[in-house]
């Protein structure tokens, strides 16, 4: 086990500085344009692919950092550049995480490279879990996968929503119910290969923030996929469903049983500290803009940071950002070193970092005053972008529920 250490090693420092340079020189100058266009920033993705950032190898190298800090360092720097473009760059990694969390080594080797493509042929991937009536309530999922034994195929029907890269992706990873009676425990993840008939893009959402990231519905109408597109394989699924049925029967008898994780939650659990790191990058950007503005903006003949009301807010901004980073790094280190989240440390990190980003960007608007309310200054965009971090991949309320359930062992609702 790698010891927890706040001092970055030489390789981590080099990656951090490289990413910071890319964020400063490539992402930031393009941020306002792609926010206004509300389109996938293909030129930025291509540039990121050329230099090796948008690639399976890059994300895999960071994921396999034994300290666990590779991914959070990368996320913080990219999202310091811009949250919308940052999400366009890392969105495919969530789908890849779904394959890694639930798939066989053969499936990972086959499909993960297809999610990024090459510098000359950039591709995207989408992870599709949420539905119009099943967001936080994962057990309410209606998308259904039925096994056609004669054809050796799965048949999937349903509608997914809030899918990053949904409909424009080369590869879609779809979570569907195979046994509705088991609720969330009766779900599995499936690969939808490129060009599969029956999959189409539904509504593309016009969003409040992160507008450079494509978000849309995905419609699945009698989508047929080969049996080997079930992540983990059918034998593993059958065994898991059998255990889930035994658990349901035991619960009905009043017995205490071990919880069984479902496919969507396995993906989100792995990604929550990374999402927290994204929020930290965004918050840090707003803090740095606010500090510089407060030192140069004069009112009543002196810089506004000379006023305690401003200075104390700046101090609180930095303190909360650093505290959030510590929670994210702790959770990331624990995950990399096989330490169980006995106090829901992953949810803690995402909760606090998301709330911090929202608070810091709100205070940034206040420090900038009327200027902060205009699109002439980046804190306006950062404030809009921050709102998503208390909503997606588990709302702040859901994170608190997970934490409270973990601490108490009680089925809090």
Q: Write phi, then psi, for 374 (nearest 5 degrees).
A: -110, 160
Helix (H) or strand (E) holding 211: none
The residues facing 176 across adjacent strands are 188
47 in active site: no
Separate counts of helices (H) and strands (E) for the chain: 13, 11
Q: Which of 47, 131, 269, 393 is catalytic?
A: 393
Distance (Å) of CA 5 to CA 2, 9, 66, 405: 9, 10, 12, 29
Q: Which of 328, 169, 367, 346 is nearest to 266 (CA)?
A: 346
Distance (Å) of CA 55 to CA 45, 80, 214, 299, 409: 10, 20, 19, 48, 40
Sequence-ordered list of residues with C-beta below 8 angstroms from that of 120, at least 6 positions apart, any chain: none
Give the β-pairing of 215-226 and 153-164. Answer: antiparallel
The C-alpha atoms of residue 108 and residue 106 are separated, in whole angstroms, by 5
The C-alpha atoms of residue 312 and residue 333 are separated, in whole angstroms, by 32
The C-alpha atoms of residue 291 and residue 406 are separated, in whole angstroms, by 38
Catalytically active residues, by annotation:
393
């Amino acid at each position: 086990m790698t010891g927890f250490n706040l001092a970055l090693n030489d390789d981590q420092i080099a990656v951090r500085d490289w990413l910071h340079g890319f964020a400063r020189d490539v992402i930031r100058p393009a941020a306002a344009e792609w926010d206004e266009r509300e389109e996938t920033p293909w030129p930025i993705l291509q540039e990121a692919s050329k230099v090796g950032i948008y690639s399976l190898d890059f994300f895999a190298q960071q994921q396999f950092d034994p300290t666990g800090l590779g991914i959070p360092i990368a996320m913080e720097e990219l999202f310091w550049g811009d949250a919308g473009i940052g999400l366009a760059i890392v969105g495919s990694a969530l789908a890849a995480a779904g394959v890694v969390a639930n798939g066989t080594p053969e499936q990972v080797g086959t499909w993960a490279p297809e999610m990024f493509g090459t510098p000359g042929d950039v591709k995207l991937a989408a992870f599709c879990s949420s539905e119009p009536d099943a967001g936080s309530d994962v057990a309410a999922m209606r998308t259904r996968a039925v096994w056609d034994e004669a054809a050796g195929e799965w048949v999937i029907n349903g509608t997914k929503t809030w899918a990053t890269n949904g409909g424009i992706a080369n590869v879609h990873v779809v979570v569907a119910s195979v046994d509705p009676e088991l609720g969330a425990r009766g779900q599995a993840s499936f690969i939808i290969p490129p060009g599969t008939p029956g999959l189409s893009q539904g509504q593309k959402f016009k969003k409040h923030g992160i507008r450079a990231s494509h978000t849309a519905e995905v419609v699945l109408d009698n989508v047929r996929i080969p049996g080997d597109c079930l992540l983990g394989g059918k034998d593993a699924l059958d065994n898991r469903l059998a255990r889930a049925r035994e658990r349901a029967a035991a619960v009905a008898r009043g017995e205490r049983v071990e919880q069984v994780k479902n496919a969507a939650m396995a993906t989100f659990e792995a990604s929550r500290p990374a999402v927290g790191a994204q929020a930290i990058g965004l918050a840090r950007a707003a803090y740095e803009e606010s500090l510089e503005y407060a030192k140069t903006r004069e009112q009543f003949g002196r810089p506004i940071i000379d006023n305690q009301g401003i200075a104390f807010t700046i101090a609180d901004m930095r303190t909360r950002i650093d505290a959030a980073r510590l929670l994210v790094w702790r959770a990331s280190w624990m995950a990399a070193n096989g330490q169980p989240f006995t106090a829901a440390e992953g949810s803690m990190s995402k909760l606090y970092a998301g709330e911090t980003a929202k608070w810091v960007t709100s205070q940034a608007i206040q420090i900038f005053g009327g200027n902060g309310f205009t699109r002439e200054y980046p804190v306006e965009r950062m404030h809009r972008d921050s709102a998503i971090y208390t909503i997606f991949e588990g709302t702040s309320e859901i994170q608190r529920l997970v934490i409270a359930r973990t601490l108490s062992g009680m089925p809090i609702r």
